[in-house]
Amino acid sequence: MARRRLILEDGTVFEGEAFGANCDATGELVFSTGMTGYQESITDQSYNGQILTFTYPMIGNYGINRDDYESIQPTCRGVVVYEWARKGSNWRHQMTLDQFLKAKNIPGIAGIDTRALTRIIRKHGTMKATLSNIGDNLEHQLDQLRATVLPTDNIAQVSTKTAYPAPGVGRNVVLVDFGLKHSILRELAKRECNVTVVPHDTTAETILALDPDGVMLSNGPGNPDDVPWALDMIRGIQGKIPLFGICMGHQLFSKANGASTYKMTFGHRGFNHAVREIATGRVDFTSQNHGFAVSREHLPDSLIITHEEINDRSVEGVRHRDFPAFSVQFHPDAAPGPHDASYLFDDFMELMDHFKGAEQKA
- Whichever domain contains 352, its CATH number is 3.40.50.880
Based on the domain organization, do 42 and 21 belong to the same domain?
A: yes
Contact 196, 173 (CB under 8 A): yes
**Rounded Cα gap, residues 23 and 39, in angstroms:** 20
Based on the domain organization, do 229 and 171 belong to the same domain?
A: yes
220 is in an annotated binding site: yes
Query: What is the reported pLDDT for 277?
Result: 97
Query: What is the reported pLDDT for 362?
Result: 59
Based on the domain organization, do 245 and 173 belong to the same domain?
A: yes
| Termini Cα distance of the chain | 72
Average of per-residue pLDDT values in the chain:
95
Query: What is the reported pLDDT for 344?
Result: 96
Query: What is the reported pLDDT for 358?
Result: 72
The H or E element spanning position 318 is: strand 315-320
**Residue 212: strand, helix, or coil:** coil
Active site residue 113: no
Query: What is the reported pLDDT for 337?
Result: 75
Query: What is the reported pLDDT for 146?
Result: 96
Q: Is the peptide bond before 336 cis (omega within 30 degrees of 0)?
A: yes
222 is in an annotated binding site: yes
**End-of-domain residue from the set 109, 124, 150:** 150
258 is in an annotated binding site: no
**Residue 346: strand, helix, or coil:** helix
Active site residue 331: yes
Catalytic choice (98, 284, 333, 340): 333
**End-of-domain residue from the set 150, 170, 187:** 150
Based on the domain organization, do 277 and 315 belong to the same domain?
A: yes
Entry field: residues in the chain? 362
Based on the domain organization, do 34 and 146 belong to the same domain?
A: yes
Based on the domain organization, do 192 and 208 belong to the same domain?
A: yes
Active site residue 247: yes
1 is in an annotated binding site: no
Amino acid at 290: H
Q: How many domains does the chain have?
A: 2
Could you tell me the residue range of the domain that residue 96 belongs to?
3-150
Contact 200, 163 (CB under 8 A): no
Based on the domain organization, do 213 and 81 belong to the same domain?
A: no
Query: What is the reported pLDDT for 352?
Result: 97
Q: The domain spanning residue 99 has which CATH number?
A: 3.50.30.20
What are the pLDDT digits (tens) for 317-339? 999 999 999 999 999 998 777 78
**Residue 217: strand, helix, or coil:** strand
**End-of-domain residue from the set 90, 120, 150:** 150
Based on the domain organization, do 50 and 170 belong to the same domain?
A: no
List, run by run, the mean pLDDT of 10-residue segments along the chain (362 residues): 93 97 97 93 97 97 95 97 94 95 98 97 96 87 95 97 96 98 96 98 98 98 97 97 98 98 95 94 94 96 97 97 97 83 95 84 62
Catalytic choice (76, 247, 284, 320): 247
Going along 158-198, which residue ranges are E strands?
Answer: 164-166, 172-176, 194-198
